[in-house]
């Protein structure tokens, strides 16, 4: 007889968690003495960098000395920072780790003012001279992409004096974002509500998600929705002032570096054409019919007279199957076989070698991520809870982990770091492979409905919603750049106009419907970031189609191009990397492929729902 046990996921302490489910920090440093040695060595590298001042234009050897010293410093900096950061991530209450993080932060903060001379001195080297040095000194080859790209951005390089001045204001520029964090976390006071069963709960973001996902009573969901949004609504004028401050700071920095707009400043570093951003917004806004069709289907299946935004997470069927972690790893591992046995083998190594921190423990931060340490391996955070959603999260984050692994194995340090513009390609590609695999291997109609819903929600959340956010950011930034007023009323009306274009009259309006802008962290922490979720999703959809459809030879060639993309790190501009892989985001086809994919999935979901009725 075989006994199958479900892994414990509610650990009372980190010590209870088996070692195989926890990060192995010794892969970075054996002990704190080794960490301290590298921490001190960073200062030595900085002295080496400073010794190059005034010499860069004299010879290729002097330039190589600087580039080598910078690389040595950055390799150590990644390790020194991540060794502390990762440990703090799983033990946020450890004040000793917090102190070490501050120590590292202070060290790094001192780099800006004392290295402001580097860019203007490098750009003073004539481009023809640089090309000659690159031809003659082969040791500079690894830096070629970085060195030649600076001439493209030449007009945006500040003088040493201006660079130093702007660096002094960097912390001031970050103040508005810190105010948002304080207002939304430390100083926020969430409201208590009484639900229909008589229980009283404080509606935090986590509790709100729990109620809107699991509570079948629409009145309870509405109470939770009104309670959480009322907190942000009451501070709407403060949020508007904070957001205006952030954009004003961006606009000041963009003008200081001779950019025509904040969008130009955001895109030009990676050589992304502005038309890619604007065409994404236009194409998606003109093709929101599949989203509205999905919400109409949900309204019908749930039997609701009126459908609201807070009804969007409740399950269409009763499905609460649990997926123990080891089973989830097996499922995800099997699902990536179309990417080849070598890819699958590397993924198995990732899940069995102390690269993943799997379970929640007291003091561990929430969420999931994958972060690389060059020369070591990626470290992947989970808070695995055995739900279907987290099986997809596992596949998603393993996509990032494999991308980093392949890049670091293939690229030198200087070109190993891939851009955000391609970062979500591998993760969303893996999710699609997982959907296919699970749909092929399950006959449970409720599980099939749950899988399709998971995929549909992923497309809406990653592609449509992020494009809507990108549209909102563009409109508000344009107002600031044109000297127009920005206040809570204007921000709310702008949101409402865009939402109407996306959702039409499918969802009912409430007092709080147009206030999500108050609580979306990306707007405040990383402006002009979210559009990349959508472009990555479109890219992965096109690549997935190429890898899984067509003749055997066509699929093999597409797979080869895809793996080459993952191996290419940051060795070229991201648009060029994607073109080599078979995706041209300057054309609407990639976006339309996602839109058509969603339309087909909604139709398939409707068919599966009819099956369980009969």
**Rg (Cα) of the chain, in Å, rounded?**
25
- E strand or H helix at 325, and its extent? helix 325-335
Nearest to 405, CA basis, from 348, 366, 358: 348
Which of 121, 360, 386, 397 does the annotation list as catalytic?
A: 397
**Measured between alpha carbons, how far is 445 from 319 in angstroms, rounded to an integer?**
10
Nearest to 140, CA basis, from 151, 129, 155: 129
Q: What is the number of other CB atoms lying within 10 angstroms of the CB of residue 554? A: 12
**Measured between alpha carbons, how far is 58 from 62 in angstroms, rounded to an integer?**
7
**Measured between alpha carbons, how far is 84 from 79 in angstroms, rounded to an integer?**
9
For the record, the structure tokens of 111 come out as 């780099």
Q: What is the number of other CB atoms lying within 10 angstroms of the CB of residue 188? A: 14
**Measured between alpha carbons, how far is 416 from 408 in angstroms, rounded to an integer?**
6
Residue 258 backbone class (left: φ over 0; alpha: ψ -120 to 50; beta: rest): left
Contact 374, 416 (CB under 8 A): yes
Contact 433, 467 (CB under 8 A): no
Burial of 93 (0-12, 13-18, 19+ CB in 10 A): exposed
Active-site annotation holds for 397: yes
Phi, psi of 231 (to 5 degrees): -65, -45
| Beta strand extents in 157-310 (DSSP E only) | 192-194, 200-202
- E strand or H helix at 380, and its extent? strand 379-381
CA angle in degrees (0–180, nearest 5) for 144-145-147: 65
Nearest to 48, CA basis, from 29, 68, 77: 68
Strand partners, 193: 201
- E strand or H helix at 356, and its extent? strand 356-357
For the record, the structure tokens of 160 come out as 């040493």
Fill in the DSSP letter of residue 487: -
**Catalytic residue positions, numbered:** 397
């Amino acid at each position: 007889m075989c006994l199958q046990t479900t892994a414990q996921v509610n650990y009372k302490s980190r010590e209870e968690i088996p070692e195989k489910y926890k990060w192995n920090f010794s892969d970075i440093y054996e002990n704190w003495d080794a960490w301290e040695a590298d921490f001190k060595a960073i200062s030595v590298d900085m002295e080496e960098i400073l010794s190059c001042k005034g010499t860069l234009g004299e010879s290729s050897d002097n330039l190589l000395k600087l580039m080598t010293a910078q690389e040595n410093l950055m390799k150590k900096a990644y390790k020194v920072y991540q060794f502390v950061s990762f440990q703090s991530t799983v033990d946020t209450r450890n004040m000793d780790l917090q102190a070490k993080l501050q120590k590292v932060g202070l060290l790094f903060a001192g780099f800006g003012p004392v290295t402001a001379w580097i860019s203007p001195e490098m750009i003073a080297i004539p481009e023809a001279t640089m090309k000659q040095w690159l031809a003659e000194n082969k040791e500079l080859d690894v830096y070629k992409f970085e060195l030649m790209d600076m001439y493209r951005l030449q007009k945006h390089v500040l003088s040493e004096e201006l660079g130093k001045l702007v660096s002094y204001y960097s912390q001031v520029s970050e103040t508005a974002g810190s105010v948002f964090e304080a207002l939304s976390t430390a100083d926020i006071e969430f409201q208590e509500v009484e639900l229909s069963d008589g229980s009283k709960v404080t509606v935090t973001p986590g509790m709100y998600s729990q109620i809107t996902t699991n509570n079948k009573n629409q009145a309870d969901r509405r109470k939770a929705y009104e309670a959480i949004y009322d907190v942000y609504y009451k501070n709407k004028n403060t949020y508007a002032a904070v957001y205006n401050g952030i954009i004003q700071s961006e606009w000041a920095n963009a003008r200081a570096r001779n950019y025509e707009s904040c969008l130009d400043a955001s895109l030009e570093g990676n050589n992304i054409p502005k038309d890619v951003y604007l065409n994404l917004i236009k194409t998606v806004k003109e093709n929101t019919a599949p989203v509205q069709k999905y919400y109409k289907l949900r309204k019908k299946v749930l039997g609701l007279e009126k459908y609201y935004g807070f009804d969007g997470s409740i399950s269409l069927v009763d499905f609460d199957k649990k997926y123990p972690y080891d089973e989830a790893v097996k499922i995800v591992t099997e699902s990536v076989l179309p990417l080849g046995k070598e890819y699958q083998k590397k993924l198995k190594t990732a899940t069995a070698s102390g690269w993943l921190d799997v379970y929640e423990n007291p003091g561990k931060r929430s969420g999931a991520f994958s972060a690389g340490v060059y020369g070591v391996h990626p470290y992947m955070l989970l808070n695995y809870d055995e739900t279907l959603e987290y099986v997809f999260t596992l596949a998603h984050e393993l996509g990032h982990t494999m991308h980093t692994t392949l890049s670091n194995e293939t690229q030198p340090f200087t070109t190993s770091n891939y851009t955000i513009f391609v970062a979500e390609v591998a993760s969303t590609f893996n999710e699609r492979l997982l959907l296919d695999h699970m749909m092929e291997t399950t006959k449970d109609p409720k599980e099939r409905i749950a899988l399709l819903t998971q995929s549909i929600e992923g497309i809406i959340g990653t592609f449509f919603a992020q494009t809507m956010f990108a549209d909102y950011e563009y409109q508000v930034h344009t107002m600031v750049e044109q000297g127009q007023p920005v206040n809570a009323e204007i921000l709310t009306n702008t949101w409402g106009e865009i939402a109407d274009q996306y959702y039409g009259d499918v969802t009912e309006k409430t007092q709080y419907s147009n206030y999500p802008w108050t609580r979306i962290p990306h707007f405040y922490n990383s402006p002009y970031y979210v559009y990349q979720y959508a472009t990555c999703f479109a890219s992965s959809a096109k690549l997935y189609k190429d890898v899984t459809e067509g003749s055997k030879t066509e699929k093999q060639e597409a797979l080869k191009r895809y793996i080459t993309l993952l191996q290419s790190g940051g060795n070229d501009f991201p648009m060029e990397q994607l073109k080599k892989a078979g995706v041209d985001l300057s054309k609407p086809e990639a976006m339309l492929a996602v839109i058509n994919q969603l339309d087909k999935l909604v139709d398939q979901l409707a068919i599966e729902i009819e099956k369980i009725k009969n």
